[in-house]
Amino acid sequence: MIRHFSVAAGADRRSQVGIGVVGYGYWGPNLVRNFAEQPDARMVAVCDARTERLNSVAIRHPSVGVTDDFQDLLNAPDIDAIAVATPSKSHYSLARQALLAGKHVLVEKPMTQTSEQAEELVELADRRGLVLMVDHTFAYTGSVQKIRELVNNNELGRLYYWDSVRVNLGLFQQDVSVLDDLAVHDLSIMDHVLGMLPEAVAATGVAHVPGRPVNTAYLTCYFATDMLAHFHVNWLSPVKVRRTLIGGDRRMVVYDDNEPSEKVKVYDSGITVGEDEDRRIELKIGYRAGDVWAPKLPLDEALNVETAHFVECIRESKVPRTDGRAGWRVVRILETAARSLAEHGRPIEISWSPAVTKSDVATPGSAA
Amino acid sequence: MIRHFSVAAGADRRSQVGIGVVGYGYWGPNLVRNFAEQPDARMVAVCDARTERLNSVAIRHPSVGVTDDFQDLLNAPDIDAIAVATPSKSHYSLARQALLAGKHVLVEKPMTQTSEQAEELVELADRRGLVLMVDHTFAYTGSVQKIRELVNNNELGRLYYWDSVRVNLGLFQQDVSVLDDLAVHDLSIMDHVLGMLPEAVAATGVAHVPGRPVNTAYLTCYFATDMLAHFHVNWLSPVKVRRTLIGGDRRMVVYDDNEPSEKVKVYDSGITVGEDEDRRIELKIGYRAGDVWAPKLPLDEALNVETAHFVECIRESKVPRTDGRAGWRVVRILETAARSLAEHGRPIEISWSPAVTKSDVATPGSAA
Amino acid sequence: MIRHFSVAAGADRRSQVGIGVVGYGYWGPNLVRNFAEQPDARMVAVCDARTERLNSVAIRHPSVGVTDDFQDLLNAPDIDAIAVATPSKSHYSLARQALLAGKHVLVEKPMTQTSEQAEELVELADRRGLVLMVDHTFAYTGSVQKIRELVNNNELGRLYYWDSVRVNLGLFQQDVSVLDDLAVHDLSIMDHVLGMLPEAVAATGVAHVPGRPVNTAYLTCYFATDMLAHFHVNWLSPVKVRRTLIGGDRRMVVYDDNEPSEKVKVYDSGITVGEDEDRRIELKIGYRAGDVWAPKLPLDEALNVETAHFVECIRESKVPRTDGRAGWRVVRILETAARSLAEHGRPIEISWSPAVTKSDVATPGSAA
Amino acid sequence: MIRHFSVAAGADRRSQVGIGVVGYGYWGPNLVRNFAEQPDARMVAVCDARTERLNSVAIRHPSVGVTDDFQDLLNAPDIDAIAVATPSKSHYSLARQALLAGKHVLVEKPMTQTSEQAEELVELADRRGLVLMVDHTFAYTGSVQKIRELVNNNELGRLYYWDSVRVNLGLFQQDVSVLDDLAVHDLSIMDHVLGMLPEAVAATGVAHVPGRPVNTAYLTCYFATDMLAHFHVNWLSPVKVRRTLIGGDRRMVVYDDNEPSEKVKVYDSGITVGEDEDRRIELKIGYRAGDVWAPKLPLDEALNVETAHFVECIRESKVPRTDGRAGWRVVRILETAARSLAEHGRPIEISWSPAVTKSDVATPGSAA
């Protein structure tokens, strides 16, 4: 006989974390799908103002409730945590309401539009003892975890530079610049891997379409050391590039997220100081100085790892890997970059309050 | 208020094609997911002998029924069509039972283990007026459709060769050889693109692990023309290669399914016959003779296109693009290849009955 | 009987342009080899201070004279032109002496160390009616010629950005920064292709090794239009990258000099302005918007084309494609970049005297 | 004062090996250039029937003598060794005359047209105590040396397969098939790396152009073990592919000669035998099973290493790495392949006389 399981049969619903998701556009469906597959979570309801998006939820996830009123999520007693996947201008307001309603919160990146908003959310979550996590998805990939491990174990040695290129064809949006849309990924990766805070930021860019935000931008971060970090983001590139070079005096890393199987490659550094003409000619002709190694990486979907981590942090009162402070730090850099961009690329210093680094940020050379 | 839609609300269930799927291993979940998203179909039930696989259905698709008894699918009056996604040794038996029970059938590739079985299924479906379709998924990709269009429009000119490489690391299975597992894809692509039947087949290969089937094989197809088709399939390759070269006297195609954005490239042929030494040196040094063009391809998921096509063929009594005869032709080549392999690569002729080509197979040069 | 040709038998030595080369380090041998193969030139003598380098000349080119005294080249009546392939700090002095001695001059890039020196050389050559050419080798490649043609024919439309990456492992030199060593190539390519002069320049970089020049740098050029040009050069990259993206509102170009056969690819632009969510998702998933086209390029060695062009300009009193003014323009940008770099990346304006653009610089949209 | 060195000044001409080269088409110039740079050799004279080719010698190498009469090379007392770089049909006759005249010989590949000819040359050289070497250039590359070392040190373990693809656009020649032109490279590489002799050979191919030799071919070698070797060669490929996969039960190698910097990659094998469904799915989704390692390779030009080795073998009476027996073995395989091709791919056994393996061929697992 064809049986129909009662919904979520076999799991103790009381011990599961109830999840509400607000925003069912591009990313929301991924959140819903991944939360629906977490054994310790229950996907309770989705909120979106658009009826056709709610219909789409019903077709794919018939057992998940839907509503067009965010208040319903706040009021639902079986919702313990809310994931905010709306356009970034509403992140602050929705996350704040959720925290005030006693819900744990996962927010899309960039976490807020201003660092003041980010700071307020962090303080609110601290005061209420709630988990506040930002969806810096790349921090949960095997690639970024491997690079973090290499840096923390001092495999790269003293760091010389971080160079990221993230360019592709993208839609010009009304109120989100290419920095908020693309550089946010690289800044969150660098924050997670290095745990170093820039002392100054400079940015330059162009908004080629009148009335639209900047679509091509270059961002530079200056640190207390002589490490230089640079980011190229662009919505007008005919090709998709996702490549980060990280140079150290012992080893160097190429992280190419477009590569199907060898996303992270580690190169013996091969730096030479000297006037040796033969060596110079050899380097001109040759391509590299030592062996190359591509470590095997786990294949788990990052968002699966991340949603499981969010649920675990709620159940075990842990600080997330990408907590509200990580979101705050990245927002701080983005808003400073926007100011520099408005001032024709003038480098602008950032002073960091101790509160923003309270979370356990790894320092290169220390244990992971 | 958080609402719960009644299952499939808003669609007239009577007009939808009811679907049952048997086999929920590697491919079954993809079929279920795609049928669940077809507006004109309803995913009624899944059958699998393994309880944990049925639990997996319940978690992802709570409204879909489950059973471990195939007879339940055959008996269900709201199931109009059955997709068979079990190991290939049971395809024939399950598809035959389904047809006898008056269900339309979609079968995984290879359709059956022998061409006699394939022929019987084709005749049975013909007699009963049921749709019999084989899941030659690649035929529904934008890449293969574009190549078929190029061949049919005579853009490539007279065809010289077809060379496919499909190699990767794969698990040694008990009863499926690498020809059945991998070459079946390339044979089904060639069948769909060329609509030419080989007059003889030769194959050679090795089963390096005792008691396991052939894991490395080379297959050659000979045609009435001087076109040569050759296939390399291998489960022991450290790298994944998915590349087909198609050479014609006017243009040539490189179809690289690993390429993220330029899967199909069209090259001006540049063939030169002569003794010109300078030209020979130029070709030695240079790489190509003319312009290269990479047409834009649609990005639709092939299985979505295919499941929609299956539903449409049922509703409108059409012959599927990859009908049972296509499955039969491919099985015929595979079984001949297995014989050649057992006879140390001796080329073996195939005589094709008119029945196998009854479906509307395109011929190069004719309209698509 | 084994014959020995008398040197350069069969050519009328009097009608050939006699060539002297000073500096036989990395690049000098390429110049000598290419001049030796020009039918209208005669490779007369090489000057270098190092005896072992002169021995090397004798082994490869027994008929070419050698000397360690530059004065010998200046005094030789059968030397009509001198190519300067020494370290850049001596370019100005050697080129000036050569011009004063009535010799035509080809100088390595960067042409001089200051723009005042460049200006002086240009004026001196003008006054004496001598050819002054700078060895901007890339301007003579098929790739750059094709891109120039595309820009001049307005195939790309209005230009949005120019983004170059030229990074590899390189030796830290004593007195040449990575801008002088690598960015000089990209600036000379942009000068040749666009013929647009930047109104301001900004640069940032790091000299990680004490006492050594900057090894990692980013350079930005601002124009009267909203086109942005950006250059990344780096001697500490584990991988060699040679990639330029040029974005226009009609088409875009990817110029990848590492590609063996498809160095220049032209993409339909596919720029979309709007809020269309489906389109946004498509662009997130897809990679590109239109067809791609890789034109066939000539395979001639650039330095062969260039040395022939130099000889032709001398014989026919023509202005070289990369004349002294092109060298002057590039030096001007480099020295401004060095100033900006010293001032922490402050953008610095450049005012261009009419004299520097006297040569026939193409303007986008005008005929080639 | 500009000095002119007397030719080859500073070297004791009597202790140098005098070299004559016959044939100055595509490859001859490379031989002449490399011999000219060997300190222990002296490039004495070049023979070619075409006057314009001799003129070309005179321009590039004015001190090298020229003749259109091969007898001149045989008679010249200062010529100790002759390199034969003519079309393959004249290899046997010219090499034989040279050996009979007491000259050491380096012959282009394929060494001769028949194995009887090869055997005769080997015996003649043995009897006269002369060095007979075949120009299997790839054996002198850093890539092939590294792969040989990996095999000899048993790093790959038991060998499963050797799969080579060498395809590109090439000119149809009058009397050389694509097997002689391209497969000869791969056979010589395999001979050098494995030192295993095939017990049978099968080949299939097509000559699409009437009156021209086979342009597309597949060659299979069967061994006493269950290792399978397969070669795809093609003059009608729109893309240039130079890729060899070598599979062992411990590690696998990808040798891609088109790669600028990572020509040899070593993969942990990751072979799994079993029915584990999760593992199967992982392999379907994933790409590889372990770490990848790309060893640093020397950058020396192979022909420089090879010409030095030839000179050294003459001066020190050594057996060359690629001696006449290596040439003989490869010719034997090629002529057997041609027979198989004429018999529609029938596998043909080869019995090897002990004489052909007298040279020190490495056996996998034994010391290098």
Task: pLDDT band for A285, please (50, 70, 90 cuts).
Answer: very low
**H or E segment and range at residue D32:** helix D28-36
Whole-angstrom distance, CA of residue B333 vs CA of residue B184: 9
With vertex at residue C292, the alpha carbon angle to CA C287 and CA C298, rounded to the nearest 5 degrees, is 140
Closest CA to D238 of C51, C289, B254: B254
Long-range contacts: C97-103, Cβ < 8 Å, 24+? C97/C70, C98/C73, C98/C74, C99/C124, C99/C125, C99/C128, C99/C130, C99/C132, C100/C124, C101/C74, C101/C75, C102/C128, C102/C130, C103/C20, C103/C73, C103/C74, C103/C79, C103/C130
Q: Is the pLDDT reported for residue A362 higher than 50? A: no
Looking at beta carbons, which residues of chain B come within 8 Å of C294? 291-294
- Minimal CA separation from B285 to chain A, in Å: 18
For residues A116, A118, A122, A123, the Cα torsion angle rounded to the nearest 10 degrees is 20
- Asked if residues B76 and B103 have their Cβ atoms less than 8 Å apart, the reply is no
Which residues make beta-bridge pairs with C323?
Answer: C133
Which pLDDT belongs to residue C359? 55
Interface contact C5-D58, CB threshold 8 A: yes
Closest CA to C137 of C322, C296, C357: C322
Whole-angstrom distance, CA of residue A306 vs CA of residue A319: 13
Interface contact B260-A261, CB threshold 8 A: no
Which is it for strands C236-248 and C251-256: parallel, antiparallel or unpaired? antiparallel
Interface contact C293-B292, CB threshold 8 A: yes
Q: What is the pLDDT of residues B17-63, one digit of tens each?
A: 999 999 999 899 999 999 998 999 999 999 999 999 999 898 788 78
D11 → chain C, closest CA residue = C59
Task: pLDDT band for A207, please (50, 70, 90 cuts).
Answer: very high
DSSP type of residue D223: -
Exposed / middle / buried, residue A93 (Cβ in 10 Å: 0-12, 13-18, 19+): middle
D343 Cβ partners below 8 Å, 6+ apart? none
Whole-angstrom distance, CA of residue D126 vs CA of residue B48: 72
Task: pLDDT band for A223, please (50, 70, 90 cuts).
Answer: very high
The list of chain D residues with pLDDT below 50 reads 7-10, 285-288, 361-368
Looking at beta carbons, which residues of chain A come within 8 Å of D292? 262, 293-294
- Minimal CA separation from C267 to chain B, in Å: 10
D305 Cβ partners below 8 Å, 6+ apart? D140
Classify the C-alpha dihedral B222-B223-B227-B233 as positive or negative. negative
B294 → chain C, closest CA residue = C292
| Range A20-32 average pLDDT | 96
- Asked if residues A366 and A152 have their Cβ atoms less than 8 Å apart, the reply is yes
What is the percent of chain A with per-residue pLDDT over 70, rounded to a whole number? 88
Interface contact D67-C8, CB threshold 8 A: no
Cβ-nearest to A284 among C26, C204, C236 = C26
Interface mutation vs chain C, best among A246, A255, A273, most C CBs within 10 Å: A273
Q: What is the pLDDT of residues A42-69, one digit of tens each?
A: 999 999 999 999 998 987 887 899 999 9
- Asked if residues D256 and D239 have their Cβ atoms less than 8 Å apart, the reply is no
What type of residue sits at position D63? S
- Minimal CA separation from D319 to chain C, in Å: 29
Which residues make beta-bridge pairs with B273?
Answer: D172
Q: Could you tell me the CA-to-CA distances from D107 to C357, D93, D121, D327 in Å, in that order?
A: 58, 11, 11, 9
Looking at beta carbons, which residues of chain C come within 8 Å of A289? 169
Q: Is the pLDDT reported for residue B71 higher than 60? A: yes
Cβ-nearest to D169 among B173, B208, B283 = B283
With vertex at residue D270, the alpha carbon angle to CA D265 and CA D274, rounded to the nearest 5 degrees, is 155
**DSSP H helices in chain B:** 28-36, 51-60, 70-75, 91-100, 115-128, 142-152, 178, 184-194, 277-285, 302-316, 324-342
A10 → chain B, closest CA residue = B55
Which is it for strands C41-47 and C17-22: parallel, antiparallel or unpaired? parallel
With vertex at residue A243, the alpha carbon angle to CA A240 and CA A245, rounded to the nearest 5 degrees, is 160
- Minimal CA separation from B231 to chain A, in Å: 23
Q: Is the pLDDT reported for residue B87 higher than 90? A: yes
What would the two tokens of residue D146 be? 């590294």
- Minimal CA separation from D129 to chain C, in Å: 27
Neighbours of C359 (CB within 10 A): 18
Cis peptide before D110 (omega within 30 of 0): yes
Q: What is the pLDDT of residues C36-76, one digit of tens each?
A: 989 999 999 999 999 999 998 987 887 899 999 999 999 99
Closest CA to A313 of A11, A80, A32, A110: A80
- Asked if residues A316 and A162 have their Cβ atoms less than 8 Å apart, the reply is no
C313 Cβ partners below 8 Å, 6+ apart? C131, C133, C319, C320
Interface contact C238-A247, CB threshold 8 A: yes
B228 → chain D, closest CA residue = D206
Cβ-nearest to D299 among A282, A293, A299 = A282
- DSSP SS3 for D217: strand
Looking at beta carbons, which residues of chain D come within 8 Å of B216? 160-161, 228, 247
Task: pLDDT band for B298, please (50, 70, 90 cuts).
Answer: confident
In terms of residues, how long is chain B? 368
| Range B80-107 average pLDDT | 97
Which is it for strands D132-134 and D104-107: parallel, antiparallel or unpaired? parallel
Q: Which position has the higher pLDDT, A222 or D297?
A: A222
Neighbours of D367 (CB within 10 A): 7
Q: Is the pLDDT reported for residue A241 higher than 70? A: yes
Name the phi and psi angles at B3, rounded to 5.
Answer: -100, 155
D284 Cβ partners below 8 Å, 6+ apart? B26, B170
Closest CA to B231 of A167, C300, C203, D230: D230
Which pLDDT belongs to residue D287? 44
Interface contact D45-C2, CB threshold 8 A: yes
Edge-first strand order for the sheet with A104-107 is: A65-67, A41-47, A17-22, A81-84, A104-107, A132-134
- Minimal CA separation from D157 to chain C, in Å: 31
Interface contact C26-A226, CB threshold 8 A: no
Neighbours of C66 (CB within 10 A): 22
Cβ-nearest to B202 among D236, D284, D345 = D345
Stated pTM of the model: 0.90
A107 Cβ partners below 8 Å, 6+ apart? A83, A84, A91, A95, A121, A132, A133, A134, A135, A327
- DSSP SS3 for D102: coil
Cβ-nearest to B67 among A3, A76, A240 = A3
Interface contact A2-B72, CB threshold 8 A: yes
- Asked if residues B17 and B80 have their Cβ atoms less than 8 Å apart, the reply is yes
Looking at beta carbons, which residues of chain B come within 8 Å of C295? 291
Q: Is the pLDDT reported for residue A129 higher than 50? A: yes
What would the two tokens of residue B193 be? 């693109």
The list of chain C residues with pLDDT below 50 reads 7-10, 285-288, 361-368
Whole-angstrom distance, CA of residue D197 vs CA of residue D205: 23
What would the two tokens of residue A335 be? 């808003």
Cβ-nearest to A295 among D262, D286, D291 = D291
Whole-angstrom distance, CA of residue D315 vs CA of residue D319: 11
Q: Could you tell me the CA-to-CA distances from D111 to B35, D86, D182, D184, D321 in Å, in that order?
A: 62, 11, 14, 10, 15
D282 → chain A, closest CA residue = A299
C78 → chain D, closest CA residue = D2
Q: Could you tell me the CA-to-CA distances from B86 to A291, B22, B111, D112 in Å, in that order?
A: 45, 7, 11, 56
Whole-angstrom distance, CA of residue A321 vs CA of residue A313: 9
Classify the C-alpha dihedral B248-B252-B257-B263 as positive or negative. negative
Looking at beta carbons, which residues of chain A come within 8 Å of C227? 206
Whole-angstrom distance, CA of residue D37 vs CA of residue B197: 58
DSSP type of residue D305: H
Which pLDDT belongs to residue A273? 53
A267 → chain C, closest CA residue = C238
Interface contact B291-C287, CB threshold 8 A: no
What type of residue sits at position C333? I
Whole-angstrom distance, CA of residue C226 vs CA of residue D72: 70
C168 → chain D, closest CA residue = D261
